Amino acid sequence: MSHLSERPDNPVVGIPLPHESAALHVTGEALYTDDLVGRLTGALHAWPVQAPHTHALVTALRTAPAYDVPGVVRVLTTEDVPGVNDAGVKHDEPLFPTEVMFHGHAVCWVLGETLESARLGAAAVEVDYEPLPSLVTVQEAIAAESFQGTPRNLARGDVATAFASAAHVFEGEFEFAGQEHFYLETHVSLALVDEGGQVLVHSSTQHPSETQEIVAHVLGVPSHEITVQCLRMGGAFGGKEMQPHGYAAIAALGARLTGRPVRLRLNRTQDITLSGKRHGFHSTWRAGFDDDGHIVALEATLTADGGWSLDLSEPVLARALCHIDNAYWVPNIRVDGRVARTNKTSQTAFRGFGGPQGMLVMEDLLGRCAPLLGIDPLELRRRNFYQQDQTTPYGQPVRQADRLAACWDQVAESGEIAQRRAEIAEFNRRHPHTKRGLAMTPVKFGISFNLTAFNQAGALVHVYKDGSVLINHGGTEMGQGLHTKMLQVAATALGLPLSRVRLAPTRTDKVPNTSATAASSGADLNGAAIKNACEQIRERLAQVAGGRLGISPNDVRFDDGVVRGLSPASGEIGWDELVNAAYHQRVQLWAAGFYRTEGLHWDANTMQGEPFKYFANGVAASEVEVDGFTGAYTVRRVDIVHDVGDSLSPLIDIGQIEGGFVQGAGWLTLEDLRWDTSDGPNRGRLATQAASTYKLPSFSEMPDDFRVKLLEKAHEEGAVYGSKAVGEPPLMLAFSVREALREAAAAFGPGGTSVDLGCPATPEAVYWALDKARTPQVPEPRDTGAEPVLAGER
């Protein structure tokens, strides 16, 4: 067992604890960035001037009328930027644009004594525009050959030969929508400047170091003049990985120019219309199968809707390509990927980061092809699972294929899948206007950042003279429970009760050069860095304890605040006493920890290597019931078995699995982003700007029967205390809901009906699918060799 993954006796990790701020959350005492404004005097408030066009040149900008509004202090424009007028790491996102690239694009910002004065000042700013042609849909961008970034392709084997010899070949087209993050806390930054001109930015950001970098280059100063702190976030889901930087820069610029604190908090409509979403994708595919239903070839083109700038679209696309295989062995494959440039918000990271989009293409084509092959969808999926040490299309061995099978078998057994499917068949036979469906889908998700350099983390651990411990790490807390796990890691590493350890907010002047809290890697990276720092301190204390107890430092053990030797005869010493003795011996009682993930290598140009430390596995079975008159449906029961390794904090992990699943079900079945695609004056305007028009999953969409289990005996070598990541992989378990809806819709037609189901599978989409199933027009499968058979009407 590796040193990193080895657990001591009586560890604090593994104990099911509530979230460390749970009581503060429910009582309203938890402080978020915007709560700090009330503790300041003289804070100014920022409001954007948003363009009413989807694509236009700014031909004139008159700010003078804003100054006639009482309370307006400053209007920020491009002339005020002392550094680089850009808010993106790709230098393609002007902070103050002269060319409007999407409906609602902010062209300048007004600072007022009150939020109302800033709003009225923004309304008074006069802007002249020259409208330009716009591309709103990804199909329009494809037709216009409007692309950005570097196209990628992933290939293995001989696709042409495999298709020529395939017994069955199917092809299809599939487009699916993005998703609004809809975090409870919108984007917010609060900037303060000291007497030396140094800026402290409180920001709701997943990536404080990058926020620091962007603010510094906008202000034209080195990074050491900027400190970014993140107390906590009220949700983020990837939406605060790249997109907070510009808002932080506006607040910092305003503070530098006025000498006063500046608060920028978007209201919900501003947040939805200004910030990016999950990338929608358009895909075309061709799949070949042998007579036994094994996939022998796959050819696909994935086009991501990147919006107006690159943001994180390139790595999102790369992860989509690397996850199109999901849990299935595809010996011959070629996938081409590209990023479309459209006049929409710049789409960004969202939980899963392209993985869900790639995997959805595979799950959709299997769901459509199974009836045409005459194979049960469960059997088709299980038959194509990776076997031990087969490699992915990009060359990484799948070393835990047995765990994927174990999850599948456990769900099948504990969920009584065979029995329930027989009961569902009988129910459907007796109910002509209501049908049920049950589907199982797997998840194999790679854990690590695509960019190898991001797989590093730091931590700072202080032990004070009284024995109390303060930890600081580079990860951010967005409600996911990272801080809870880090407290447990530190307590375990030092052999202390949890009550002796406290955690400080994330700050760039404590831990520098941090990676974003993203890619499900927060606990892996920061936990290992904290463990490293704690072990440095413990080794020094062991030297002191050895001297006090008269034993070798190698025989010293730390457990629950008591330090003793291997033999009871050695005696013991209390933690506080030992720390005090160490201080008087001038022993260093603080340490900076560091960790970098070993064993990763990746060539982004050839799309080959081992970019992931390991794969997280899981399986879900979902049962639904559909009304044949309306397409309305309920999720009756969900069974999940998920692999989190040896859990650091089981209660936190189960909560993440439940929340991720529900969020995934929202994306796949409810959440329907709608842009105006007409040629009218509102072309390109996002119509779903609030909870009144954008349907979010709530308690009413929760399964009536929701059963979540962690895979047992799943210790992960080479990860902190044997744990695995949990943040993103559970979202993709929700594929089972959409596939169950497909089966229920197909049940309205004759046996062997292949259903082409829209995504999101809203009640309307389900109704259209089941109505078509009643009068199927899908061609029968036939031995076609290289000639395609459509897996759905096109």
Q: Which structure tokens are listed for 728?
A: 């993103």
Rg, the chain, Cα only: 28
Q: How many CB atoms lie within 10 A of CB 318?
A: 24
Task: Evaluate whether 689 touches 269 at the Cβ level (below 8 Å).
Answer: yes
Cα→Cα distances 78→62, 108, 253, 263, 598, Å: 13, 8, 11, 19, 44
Three-state DSSP at 600 gives coil
Chain centre to alpha carbon of residue 65: 42
Q: Give residue 511's region: left, alpha or beta (phi > 0; psi -120 to 50).
A: beta
Task: Evaluate whether 349 touches 144 at the Cβ level (below 8 Å).
Answer: no
Q: For 509, how many CA atoms within 13 A lie in the half-sphere containing its CB?
A: 11
Q: Which structure tokens are listed for 238?
A: 């990837």
Residue 482 amino acid letter: L
* CA-closest candidate to residue 710, choices 656, 638, 623, 645: 645
Sheet containing 434-447: order of strands: 434-447, 614-627, 633-642, 705-710
Q: Label residue 77 exposed, middle or buried (CB < 10 Å: 0-12, 13-18, 19+).
A: middle
Q: Which helix (DSSP H) or strand (DSSP E) does residue 189 occupy?
A: strand 188-193
Q: How many CB atoms lie within 10 A of CB 794?
A: 8
Cα→Cα distances 28→23, 35, 442, 591, Å: 8, 11, 38, 34
| Partners of residue 395 on adjacent β-strands | none
Task: Evaluate whether 134 touches 55 at the Cβ level (below 8 Å).
Answer: yes
**Omega of the bond prior to 393 within 30 degrees of 0, cis?**
no
Secondary structure of 603-622 as H, E, C letters: ECCCCEEECCCEEEEEEEEE
CA distance 203 to 230: 5
- Residue written as token pair 């995934």: 664
Rounded to 5°, angle at Cα 709 from 707 and 712 = 160
Going by C-beta distance under 8 Å and a sequence separation of 6 or more, which residues neighbour residue 419?
A: none
Pairing verdict, β 44-50 and 262-265: parallel
Going by C-beta distance under 8 Å and a sequence separation of 6 or more, which residues neighbour residue 344?
A: 102, 136, 305, 307, 308, 675, 684, 686
Three-state DSSP at 690 gives coil
Residues labelled as active-site residues? 728
Going by C-beta distance under 8 Å and a sequence separation of 6 or more, which residues neighbour residue 453?
A: none
Sheet containing 590-596: order of strands: 501-503, 469-473, 456-463, 590-596
Q: How many CB atoms lie within 10 A of CB 462?
A: 17
Q: Which structure tokens are listed for 462?
A: 């202080």
Pairing verdict, β 633-642 and 789-790: unpaired
Secondary structure of 359-403 as H, E, C letters: HHHHHHHHHHHHHHHCCCHHHHHHHCECCCCCECCCCCECCCHHH
Residue 132 amino acid letter: L
328 DSSP assignment: B
